[in-house]
């Protein structure tokens, strides 16, 4: 018995500590260092709200607008009437001079360029565009050309607002329309005086961006909202690293980035994919005065109020009255008008609007008035002036 106990104690003294299977290192890998006490790390909650890339943009990463003046040639007699558009002939003369062809000044005024049209070429230079990359360009007539269908844009430099050339455009136009005319009749489908050249532009100069400069970047929110700016900063600090982001104001969030370019791009990509917790938007009612449309978000509420709504209609009728002269009286027929004016006013009912805390209740209360969209504009403005509408009115 004593011998058995001694064997058990000896085996326990020289035995290795058993490691759970989930903590063992895979075969062929170095042995892991002894781990400290296990730490419980709470997983970052996954929200179904918007991603940061949908509510904010990296400041400094933006596109630039390019424009240029060019000529479209090869039209089937649908170009500019040069007698009315002298700059078309002047533009062609300047282009021919670059090719070594000199047109006498006397002949310039007599040119009838029915197959040439003066156009403006526009394009958007995206961020991080490099020389040699293609661009889509839009071509629009600035003269009296009837159609640009079948035309070819000759080499046109595209300039930025600083006057520098950033791209060149050339190619065959794609016009999404058709038309025909004969005998004074004309049929046209879609627009013929504008076209597009997919890949017709080529970048010649890149625009520097401040993405790789400095130790931080700024995220600009699409709309001014202090709650959203705070939520963006908290989400970045919670998922990427503590004290990495801070809200500067209601529209700008500053993020500290690593100096390594590869790590910087990785952090920016991770930040853009983070999802935000839903925040309550500011109560707002958007009114389109031209179409009578009214749109309100879910934060709009109403305080108790009473509304008197009635309709006033004015009807003016004009009836012609013909007065015939008596026979053989040598008189003349006289036509006069008899006008009648009627004013109809329907009795207005005073409707009590209860306090509403949900958008559906607000809509029901306003629909109970039986007002047209145009009348609803005046009702909402009156509710706001009376302090019963808890929302911001925006007229577009």
Helix/strand number for the chain, H first, E second:
8, 21
Closest CA to 268 of 236, 242, 291: 236
Cα 238 from chain centroid (whole Å): 30
**190, 192, 196, 201: CA torsion to nearest 10:** -170
At 345, the pLDDT band (50, 70, 90 cuts) reads low
Among 86-95, 114-123, 124-133, 173-182, the least confident range:
173-182
CATH classification code of 214-272 = 3.30.1370
- How far is residue 116's CA from residue 91's CA, in Å, rounded to a whole number? 10
311 contacts 343 by C-beta, under 8 angstroms? no
104 contacts 96 by C-beta, under 8 angstroms? no
Any bridge partners for residue 216, and if so which? 256
Supply the DSSP symbol for 256.
E
- How far is residue 254's CA from residue 247's CA, in Å, rounded to a whole number? 6
At 4, the pLDDT band (50, 70, 90 cuts) reads very low
Query: How many degrees, rounded to 5, is the angle at CA 267 between CA 265 and CA 273?
Result: 105
Q: How many other CB atoms sit within 10 Å of the CB of residue 149? A: 18
- How far is residue 68's CA from residue 158's CA, in Å, rounded to a whole number? 5
- How far is residue 119's CA from residue 116's CA, in Å, rounded to a whole number? 10
Residue 389, pLDDT score: 83
* Average pLDDT rounded to a whole number, residues 359-388: 73
Could you tell me whether strands 284-288 and 305-309 are parallel, antiparallel, or unpaired per DSSP bridges? Answer: unpaired
Among 164-178, 218-232, 368-382, the least confident range:
368-382
At 348, the pLDDT band (50, 70, 90 cuts) reads low
At 17, the pLDDT band (50, 70, 90 cuts) reads very low
Phi, psi of 234 (to 5 degrees): -65, -40
User: What are the pLDDT digits (tens) for 225-237?
Assistant: 898 999 999 999 9
Alpha-carbon Rg for the chain, nearest whole angstrom, is: 38
- How far is residue 312's CA from residue 135's CA, in Å, rounded to a whole number? 58
- How far is residue 372's CA from residue 322's CA, in Å, rounded to a whole number? 41
User: What are the pLDDT digits (tens) for 182-213?
Assistant: 666 667 677 788 999 999 999 999 998 878 77
Angle between helices 359-367 and 373-385 (to 10 degrees): 120
What 322-325 contacts at long range (C-beta under 8 Å, 24+ apart), as own/partner pairs, is: none
215 CB-contact burial (10 Å; exposed 0-12 / middle 13-18 / buried 19+): exposed
Residue 365, pLDDT score: 67
Query: How many degrees, rounded to 5, is the angle at CA 337 between CA 335 and CA 343?
Result: 170
Could you tell me whether strands 178-182 and 392-395 are parallel, antiparallel, or unpaired per DSSP bridges? Answer: unpaired
More confident residue, 376 or 341: 376
Token pair 């670059």 is at which residue?
A: 98
10 CB-contact burial (10 Å; exposed 0-12 / middle 13-18 / buried 19+): exposed
385 three-class SS: helix
Q: What DSSP line would sit under 30-41, residue for residue? A: PPPPPP-S----
* Average pLDDT rounded to a whole number, residues 17-25: 35
More confident residue, 322 or 227: 227
* Average pLDDT rounded to a whole number, residues 341-354: 61
- Structure token digits, residue 190: 């879609």
Cα 208 to Cα 67, 127, 254, distances in angstroms: 19, 9, 21
- How far is residue 146's CA from residue 268's CA, in Å, rounded to a whole number? 49
- How far is residue 111's CA from residue 95's CA, in Å, rounded to a whole number? 15
pTM listed for this prediction: 0.64
For CATH 3.30.1370, the residue range(s) in the chain are: 214-272
pLDDT at 16 over 70: no
pLDDT at 21 over 50: no
- How far is residue 199's CA from residue 213's CA, in Å, rounded to a whole number? 31
pLDDT at 141 over 80: yes
């Amino acid at each position: 018995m004593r011998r058995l106990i001694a064997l058990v104690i000896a085996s326990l003294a020289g035995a290795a500590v058993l490691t759970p299977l989930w903590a063992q290192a895979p075969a062929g890998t170095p042995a892991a260092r002894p781990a400290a006490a296990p730490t419980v790390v709470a997983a970052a909650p996954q929200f179904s709200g918007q991603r940061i890339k949908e509510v904010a943009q990296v400041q400094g990463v933006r596109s630039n607008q390019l424009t240029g003046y060019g000529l479209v040639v090869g039209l089937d007699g649908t170009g500019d009437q040069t007698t009315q558009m002298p700059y078309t002939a002047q533009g062609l003369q300047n282009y021919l001079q670059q090719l070594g062809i000199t047109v006498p000044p006397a002949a310039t005024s007599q040119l009838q360029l029915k197959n040439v049209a003066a156009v403006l070429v526009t394009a958007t230079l995206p961020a991080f565009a490099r020389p040699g990359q293609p661009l889509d360009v839009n071509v629009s007539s600035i003269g009296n050309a009837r159609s640009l269908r079948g035309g070819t844009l000759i080499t046109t430099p595209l300039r930025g607002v600083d006057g520098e050339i950033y791209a060149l455009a050339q190619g065959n136009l794609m016009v999404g329309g058709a038309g025909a005319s004969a005998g004074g009749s004309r049929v046209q489908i879609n627009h013929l005086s504008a076209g597009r050249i997919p890949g017709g532009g080529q970048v010649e100069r890149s625009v520097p961006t401040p993405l790789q400069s400095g130790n931080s970047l700024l995220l600009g929110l699409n709309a001014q909202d202090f709650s959203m700016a705070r939520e963006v900063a908290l989400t970045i600090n919670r998922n990427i690293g503590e004290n990495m982001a801070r809200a500067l104001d209601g529209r700008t969030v500053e993020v500290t980035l690593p100096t390594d370019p590869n790590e910087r791009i990785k952090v920016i990509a991770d930040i853009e994919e983070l999802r935000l917790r839903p925040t309550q938007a500011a109560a707002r009612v958007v009114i389109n005065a031209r179409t009578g449309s009214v749109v309100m978000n879910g934060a709009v509420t109403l305080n108790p109020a009473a509304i008197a709504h009635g309709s006033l209609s004015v009807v003016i009728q004009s009836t012609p009255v013909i007065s015939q002269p008596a026979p053989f009286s040598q008189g003349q027929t006289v036509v006069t008008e008899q006008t009648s004016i009627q004013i109809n006013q329907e009795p207005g009912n005073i409707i009590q609007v209860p306090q509403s805390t949900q958008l559906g209740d607000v809509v029901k209360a306003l629909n109970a008035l039986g007002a047209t969209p145009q009348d609803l504009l005046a009702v909402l403005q009156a509710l706001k002036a009376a302090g019963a509408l808890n929302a911001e009115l925006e007229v577009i």
